[in-house]
Amino acid sequence: MSVMLEVREVTKRFGGVVANDRISLTVTQGEIAGLIGPNGSGKTTLFGCITGTLPVDGGEVYFEGQPISHLRAGPIARLGLLRTWQQTRIYGEMTCAENMAISAREAHGGLISLLKPVPAATRIRASDLLAFVGLHEKRDERGGRLSFGQQKLLEFAMALMNEPKLLLLDEPTAGINPTLINGLIDRLRRANAELGVTLLVIEHNMRVIMNLAHRITCLAHGEVLAEGTPDEIRDDARVLDAYLGVA
Amino acid sequence: MTKLSDWHIMGVLAIAGLGLPFLAPGLITQLSFLWLMVIFALTWDMLGGRMGYNSFGNILFFGIGCYAAAVVQRDAGLPYFEALALGLALGAVLAVAAALLFGAALLGIRGHYFAIGTLGLGITAAEVAAGWDYVGAGSGMALPLFPGALGQREFFFCFSLFAVAIVCFLFLRWLYGTRFGLALNAIRDDQDKADAMGLRTTPIKVFAWCIAAFFLSISGGLAANMIGFIDPRDVAFAGATFGVWMVLMAILGGKGTLWGPVLGAVVFHITQELFWTYLLGWQRVALGLLIVVIVVFFPQGIMGWIAERRAAREGAAS
């Protein structure tokens, strides 16, 4: 399995605060990688640095061997590296079906290719993916009228519609009804296994991430604290210390 | 609204547009201005309603159309209609070029800052035109006389503006049905998200403004000839009247809806003419009050209000 994403010594400062301090990590093609750490440890900032929404102050990010830290969010997305947001970002005034249609990969094209109606195949795929996340009944409802948890599911479906190679998910289970979390874990696994999407997941819910991830990186105070399999991370004294403040 | 009823309304409008000039020749100038208002509202709504960019500078393109036609008709030495056609074409080219140039610069800024930036665009254009001798400076430009018989002029420009309004409406109606239309909505709802999903937002935004510039410049060239005289501040770059009205009409009818801008233009134009007729001296006050009423009672516009009522009724029924 080849390395899909390599973050090499990435540093990001906000004024005097070093949010990411020479962070290095890799994501291998086909895996589900986890990213954990206490609040303020720099996880979401790192997502911003990787996907081009935040300019990095040092280091480099390689996606499939190509340096991308100089690129903005749009070109990076077109390479097949996508993210979702912790607070969810969807198109609130558009229906779920429209949200899906404009998230299709073919919308990456130039103006000429945009001047066509949405193809039937795309509508069908959108419909299938909405069914996949359990929102098929809501397809004609405006995105903004969905509950927070449903919006998270819609955002996930929109990301899949874009056919990314690597998808960065920022707390996919936050705000989701606990009884639905198992279903979501299953869907993340299926997206990974059946659709071939490599995942890097930020998650605070330890039960979820320990179940889901093949490998976990733990950040604290903007630095990589530990890295390993879920079992190794669970037993790591430094990780426990970072979360609970006891050694 | 189904597609069928869309065509029904269009049919009624087409009969009105073609028939009224003959049935009520006294209203022909009013009707011409109505079509102009429809074009204003439709083109403004593409950015303001569909894309979420409230432009107060669209009047720039109208003015460019006015002046391009006037200059070509004065200097080209061609017969009237040839000169007019050439002037309209040149105006369209210049307006689209201006949209490309200013779009690339201004469409990067958002929200209120974009509105203020575009406001400056219209005002600057008016001041430049008012100080530029080549285009008559502050005394404006007179357009050449229409060659046809007395009364034909009004018919010609009424039907021309009607044709532009129809083409503009049908073009936008088609455009909003494509992925491009969805992309405009996506930019309105969350531009950062649209960027991060791989949409090429900058070309999309600039292209949308170019389309608006095209139709506005054509209507500007025709309107200048219809009025017969262009003043830099009161006709061509009339930001305080035309420039504000386009915004009001689109909001009154319902931003981001297909029929909203058309409906808004019709209601606004009729109301305004009634104010002129029955409240002379107070027409500006009445217009101001109308604006307040629109914003307070119809923040979603007439179409939005209808949709809300319908949703409420269906909600109550189910």
Q: Where are the domains of chain B?
A: 38-237, 244-318
Decide if pLDDT at A27 tops 60. yes
Closest-CA distance of chain A to residue B41, Å: 21
Within-domain flag for A19: yes
In chain A, what residues touch B203 (CB-CB under 8 Å)?
110-111
The H-assigned helical ranges of B177-278 are 179-189, 191-196, 201-227, 244-253, 260-278
Counting residues of chain B whose pLDDT is more than 70, the rounded percentage is 97
Q: For position A73, what pLDDT does the model report?
A: 93
Question: Contact at 8 Å (CB) between B56 and B239?
Answer: yes
Range in A57-61, A66-70, A82-86, A182-186 the model is least confident about = A182-186
Range in A142-156, A170-184, B93-107 the model is least confident about = A170-184
Q: Say which of B179, B185, B203 has its CB closest to residue A91.
A: B185
Q: What is the distance between the alpha carbons of residues A105 and A137, in angstroms, rounded to a whole number?
A: 23
Q: What is the distance between the alpha carbons of residues B7 and B263, in angstroms, rounded to a whole number?
A: 15
If phi over 0 gives left and psi between -120 and 50 gives alpha, with beta otherwise, what is residue B123? alpha
Q: For position B1, what pLDDT does the model report?
A: 47
In chain A, what residues touch B49 (CB-CB under 8 Å)?
none
Within-domain flag for A133: no
Q: What is the distance between the alpha carbons of residues A54 and A46, in angstroms, rounded to a whole number?
A: 9
| Token pair belonging to B288 | 């101001």
> Quick check: A181 contacting B, CB < 8 Å?
no
Examine the predicted complex and report whether its ipTM is higher than 0.85: yes
The values of phi and psi at residue A168, to 5°, are -100, 120
Q: What is the dihedral of CA B306, B308, B313, B318, to 10 degrees?
A: 140
The pLDDT mean for chain A works out to 92
Under an 8 A CB cutoff, do B196 and A158 touch?
no
Range of the domain at A214: 3-90+162-244
Closest-CA distance of chain B to residue A144, Å: 10
Q: What is the mean pLDDT of residues B213-223?
A: 96
> Quick check: A242 contacting B, CB < 8 Å?
no
- pLDDT band for position B34 (cuts 50, 70, 90): very high
Q: For position B3, what pLDDT does the model report?
A: 53
Q: What is the distance between the alpha carbons of residues B155 and B168, in angstroms, rounded to a whole number?
A: 20
Closest-CA distance of chain A to residue B93, Å: 19
Picking from A44, A53, A87, A91 by the largest number of B CB atoms within 10 A of its own CB, the best residue to mutate is A91
Decide which of B1 and A188 is more confident: A188
- pLDDT band for position B316 (cuts 50, 70, 90): low
Length of chain B: 318
Q: What is the mean pLDDT of residues A199-211?
A: 92
Q: Look at the block and give the residue holding tokens 């649209």.
A: B194
Q: Say which of A53, A90, A114 has its CB closest to residue B183.
A: A114
Under an 8 A CB cutoff, do B190 and A91 touch?
yes
> Quick check: A117 contacting B, CB < 8 Å?
yes
Within-domain flag for A120: no
Decide if pLDDT at B219 tops 90. yes
Structural domains of chain A, count: 1
CATH number of the domain enclosing A240: 3.40.50.300
In chain B, what residues touch A118 (CB-CB under 8 Å)?
179, 182
Decide if pLDDT at B314 tops 90. no
Within-domain flag for A192: yes
Question: Contact at 8 Å (CB) between A121 and A103?
Answer: no
Question: Tens digits of per-residue pLDDT, B156-210?
Answer: 999 999 999 999 999 999 999 999 999 999 999 999 999 999 999 999 999 999 9
